[in-house]
Structure 1
Amino acid sequence: MKILFAASEAVPFIKTGGLADVIGSLPKELAKLGADVYVILPKYGDIPSQYTEQMETVAEFQIELGWRTLYCGIQSLRYEGTTFYFIDNEFYYRRQGCYGYGDDAERFAFYCKAVLESLQHIDLLPDIIHCHDWQAGMIPVLLKAHYSWQEPYRHIKTMFTIHNLKYQGVFGKEQLKDFFSLGDEHFTGTALEIHGGASFLKGGLNYSDVMTTVSPSYAEEIQTPYYGENMDSLLRSQSHRLHGIVNGIDYQEWDPMTDVHIEVNYRDSFSKKLQNKMKLQERLGLPVNKQVPLIALVTRLVDQKGLDLIDGVIHQLLSIDAQWVILGTGESKFEQMFRWAASSFPEKVSANILFDEALAHQIYAGSDLFLMPSKFEPCGIGQMIAMRYRSVPIVRETGGLRDTVQAYNEETGEGTGFSFAYYNAHDMLHTVYRAVAYYQDADLWTAILNNIKKKDFSWRKSASAYMALYEQTTGV
């Protein structure tokens, strides 16, 4: 089976969020199951030269985007067993970052058109094009509107995966009519129209053959008004072709036995984990104390991540006998909140308002508890990485957090962490109290770590679920 992933970012080439981790990891697992997997991305200016220098130009052609005739180059690179294609147009992509430009509608319209046009130039006819998030959402629309009657494209099926329903790629109708040469019939409420504009993501939902999202719970949640981002009625009507498959994590990248970033490699040795903790405390200027629990947040500092709950009870949280380490950047109000906490309580809080990959690994290895009080979380990978490094998660029961973390039950001895159901600051606070109390009980803590040890958060199970869905969709 030939599968083409169409996405706007992928590790190790370019990353702004969890989407890149998925696109970097899942193809490798699918290949182990016998699939022939390719990935196609924009060639951004920020892709490191160590990769661009290895790329080979495999095709050059012109693309018609409305009234525009545009250059398109396709470059390729084989990386860890997967062929990656890069769409080259310097006007659109030789810029800093991936998104946030005034012409993003045109940039990703070009991307969607280039993906389909490129197939006849690179001798690739996939059985299925797996489109990810709004940036690739118009590929299923174009395929059905303009290409499906042509012989090379006739048999191709499409899958569309929602990584975060909040980001919908909404632009003016007239722009999309122009870029894609689409008639009015595609701009009704049952097609692309939303709030008077038109949505790339809605195109992916309505025109793809099958839809997925990144956890079973999120698939349920987005069919409700609270989580549905004005798409809930559409998703309810199409629930028969919506599937939730939880993400995995790359077990090679996230392996405390081989991690080059951490002080002492380990698997289930609590004493070696404590050595990492004390080295982290020393590096961050916190009192070196193996008895006090170290609670970590490695996150984007944005509203989605539930940081207003922390803001609501921050004085009570800081009165707990625990240390806190924060790593991330985001909204200034949350950056300032953690900077204030660190300056006011330097013996308790280390606020690292930056992105540092090595430090992230050290925090996973050195922390005892990992807090994710998210307002919503399609999947989340922080909680799975934390458990891989034997840091016990504290989460709100939403989306992928609910699917991957089981609250510890003292009576049955089951569970891998701590959780709270309602989006409420005091519910979170009491859950943190409970987690800290359990940390001080060596037998209970050992029981939780033993439960975590049995879990498998690799891509293996998820890749099998995707393969089954590809086969069902394509009949291959």
Structure 2
Amino acid sequence: MPILRIKNRHRNKQLKILFASYECAPFYKLGGLGDVAGSLPVALKELGVDIRVIMPYYYKIKEDYPEIKKYKLNIYQSNLPRSRVPVYFLDQPIFRAKNIFDQSERARFITFSLLIKELLDENSLNWRPDIIHCNDWQTALVTKTYKKQKSQKYLGAKTVFTIHNIGYTGRTKLSVLEKFGFTEADFNQIKNGSVNLMRQAILDADLVSTVSPTYAREILTPAYGYDMADALEKRKKDLCGILNGLNVSDWNPKKDKDIIKKFGLEDIGNKYINKNQLQKICGFETVANVPLIAMVSRLAGQKGFDLLKQAFAEIMRLNLQFVILGTGAKEYEDFFRQMNERYKHRFSAHIKFDLKLARQIYAGADMFLMPSKYEPCGLGQLIAMKYGAIPIVRSTGGLVDTVSRDSGLSFKKYDSSEMFKTIKRALTVYHNQRKWLKLVKNSMKKDFSWATSAKKYLKIYQKLIK
């Protein structure tokens, strides 16, 4: 059956989207945005959208993907894997640094934003989008350039700005922005000689989105929206929350080559072979009826590790096994290394990045702990449910939208005793085999594919070009 092509009614042509991001899996991935940029465009392409990704051509991409071909002067091109979604890589000396977050970080991403407009003005891609979809502060100034001065050569591009994590604002000194031709009059608010680029993009974009419905409501309050809550309140009618998806072709226990035994709903017993393997890796006793809790996370305060630190001794008095994988703040890395020595036969800390081990942890764990202080969307709980590990989460952001009573356990107050009580409650349910198996099956049946998210993005794109 042919794909239904989405038309822009007013121009009678296929809807064209330029997706601007500073990271995109698999070419260059640092966080959740990389996953979004590598997956959402593919799902939109399947809906008939002519979508293309644009990002900087970093030194590491050049090293890791030598097969990427030059499209024309200073522009390289490839496709997202297993798709027909073009990716344009912009090559400039400032993008070639080995550390993209060095002292030139602000100048690097200002350059990226301005180059996007320049390329479109000059029609360097031989293609012009109806909408430019910008992501986080690194592309915030694209929205400013289109609001400040509609190009005489290229009129009509609308902008969508997606907030993936409002905690990273891209605050930049006005003196740096002035070197790129901006003036004080271009910005709605300057504090201590600096501009909050995320706040400015919220005010400048034609439409603002974020990565879950609950987070969209939360950031309207100062507790979550910080000094951007007032700007978001002004744009409330143009703000929406669309839940991120999960790349189910990549995260699928039925096809995962990195776990000891593949499994699905029809052979769920194989999950316990994976648990046994994980217990061996961690140096735990290989018993089936002791619950195994896992965390795969950046070790940061946002992820609730302060609560875990406070409650850790109490947790380890319970009859359970516990594994953590991740890197981050030295305070937490040091703490978990110490706990590794103290509880070595029941607690295992892996202070590193190891994707293969992460997959085995998801496949082998009974429960997945995610006590986040705030969580725009969250990916860990989606993977955990797909692999039959029951999430224990704090009710915030995307965790509210993805973890329900029939697929996990949650607590509201950001408090270590509340977290501890919820872990104890999970252990009680675990020892009721019938109830636990139902939870596991419910969680594995959940559909978090990108197809659902893509349909919602398509609706907001269509709203903009009416």
Q: Which TM-score bucket, shorter chain as reference?
A: over 0.9
1:54 aligns with 2:67: yes
Give the aligned partner of residue 65 of structure 1: none
Letter of the 2:161 partner, please give it: F
Give the aligned partner of residue 146 of structure 2: 143
Please list, as runs of the form range in 1=range in 2, the aligned pairs for 1:391-402 lying within 5 A after superposition: 391-402=389-400
How much identity, in percent, do the aligned residues show?
39
Give the aligned partner of residue 474 of structure 1: 465
Q: CA deviation at 1:156?
A: 0.5
1:184 aligns with 2:184: yes
> Aligned partners of 2:272, 2:253: CA distance in 1, in Å?
13
> Aligned partners of 1:450, 1:357: CA distance in 2, in Å?
25
Please list, as runs of the form range in 1=range in 2, the aligned pairs for 1:248-263 lying within 5 A after superposition: 248-263=245-260
Letter of the 1:175 partner, please give it: V
Q: 1:49–1:182: structure 2 CA closer, same or farther, 3 Å change rule?
A: closer
Letter of the 2:68 partner, please give it: M
Q: CA deviation at 1:49?
A: 3.5
How many aligned residue pairs are there?
447
Letter of the 1:6 partner, please give it: A
For structure 2, which runs of at least 5 residues remain unmatched after alignment?
Answer: 1-14
> Aligned partners of 2:62, 2:451: CA distance in 1, in Å?
29
> What per-residue deviation string (whole Å, max 9, x for no partner) do you get for residues 257-315 of structure 1?
00110011111233100000101111222211111111000000011001000111110
Give the aligned partner of residue 128 of structure 2: 125
Q: CA deviation at 1:225?
A: 1.1
> Aligned partners of 1:165, 1:121: CA distance in 2, in Å?
32
Give the aligned partner of residue 388 of structure 2: 390
Give the aligned partner of residue 64 of structure 1: none
Q: CA deviation at 1:144?
A: 2.2
Give the aligned partner of residue 16 of structure 1: 30
Q: What SS is found at the alignment partner of 1:159?
A: strand
Letter of the 1:182 partner, please give it: F
Letter of the 1:167 partner, please give it: Y
Q: CA deviation at 1:450?
A: 2.9
2:117–2:142 CA contact under 8 A, matched in 1: yes
Q: 1:405–1:12: structure 2 CA closer, same or farther, 3 Å change rule?
A: same
Letter of the 1:254 partner, please give it: W
Q: What SS is found at the alignment partner of 1:231?
A: helix
2:388–2:441 CA contact under 8 A, matched in 1: no
- Alignment equivalent of 2:55, drawn from 19, 41, 65: 41
Please list, as runs of the form range in 1=range in 2, the aligned pairs for 1:293-442 lying within 5 A after superposition: 293-407=291-405, 415-442=406-433
> Aligned partners of 2:188, 2:116: CA distance in 1, in Å?
25
> What per-residue deviation string (whole Å, max 9, x for no partner) do you get for residues 398-424 of structure 1?
0000110013xxxxxxx2100000000
> Aligned partners of 1:332, 1:17: CA distance in 2, in Å?
19
Give the aligned partner of residue 266 of structure 1: 263
> Aligned partners of 2:291, 2:235: CA distance in 1, in Å?
46
Q: What SS is found at the alignment partner of 2:226?
A: coil
> Aligned partners of 1:149, 1:424: CA distance in 2, in Å?
52
> Aligned partners of 2:429, 2:463: CA distance in 1, in Å?
46
For structure 1, which runs of at least 5 residues remain unmatched after alignment?
Answer: 61-72, 408-414
> Aligned partners of 2:263, 2:292: CA distance in 1, in Å?
18
> What per-residue deviation string (whole Å, max 9, x for no partner) do you get for residues 336-386 of structure 1?
111111110111111000000111111100100000000000000100000
- Alignment equivalent of 1:81, drawn from 84, 95, 107: 84
> Aligned partners of 2:336, 2:441: CA distance in 1, in Å?
33
Q: What SS is found at the alignment partner of 2:227?
A: coil
Letter of the 2:146 partner, please give it: L
Q: What SS is found at the alignment partner of 1:280?
A: helix
Letter of the 1:448 partner, please give it: L
1:370–1:391 CA contact under 8 A, matched in 2: yes
1:295–1:371 CA contact under 8 A, matched in 2: yes
Q: What SS is found at the alignment partner of 2:306?
A: helix
> Aligned partners of 1:184, 1:226: CA distance in 2, in Å?
28
Please list, as runs of the form range in 1=range in 2, the aligned pairs for 1:129-208 lying within 5 A after superposition: 129-146=132-149, 148-152=150-154, 154-179=155-180, 181-189=181-189, 193-208=190-205
1:25 aligns with 2:23: no
Query: What is the TM-score when the length of structure 2 is the normalising length?
Result: 0.94
Give the aligned partner of residue 16 of structure 2: 2
1:263–1:276 CA contact under 8 A, matched in 2: yes
- Alignment equivalent of 2:451, drawn from 433, 447, 460: 460
Letter of the 1:5 partner, please give it: F
Q: CA deviation at 1:78?
A: 2.0
Give the aligned partner of residue 219 of structure 1: 216
> Aligned partners of 1:353, 1:231: CA distance in 2, in Å?
34
> Aligned partners of 1:10, 1:55: CA distance in 2, in Å?
14
> What per-residue deviation string (whole Å, max 9, x for no partner) do you get for residues 136-180 of structure 1?
00001012223x14132x11100000000010111111211221x
> Aligned partners of 1:394, 1:196: CA distance in 2, in Å?
43
Q: CA deviation at 1:48?
A: 6.2
> What per-residue deviation string (whole Å, max 9, x for no partner) do you get for residues 66-119 of structure 1?
xxxxxxx111112332100111113x12222432x1121111111001111122
Q: CA deviation at 1:203?
A: 2.5
> Aligned partners of 2:382, 2:99: CA distance in 1, in Å?
27
> Aligned partners of 2:64, 2:349: CA distance in 1, in Å?
32
Give the aligned partner of residue 63 of structure 1: none
> Aligned partners of 2:256, 2:443: CA distance in 1, in Å?
19
Letter of the 1:262 partner, please give it: I
1:374–1:395 CA contact under 8 A, matched in 2: yes
> Aligned partners of 1:78, 1:187: CA distance in 2, in Å?
36
Larger deviation, residues 301-310 vs 109-118: 109-118
> Aligned partners of 2:339, 2:388: CA distance in 1, in Å?
26
Query: What is the TM-score when the length of structure 1 is the normalising length?
Result: 0.92
> Aligned partners of 2:100, 2:212: CA distance in 1, in Å?
25
1:209 aligns with 2:210: no
> Aligned partners of 2:333, 2:203: CA distance in 1, in Å?
39
Give the aligned partner of residue 7 of structure 2: none
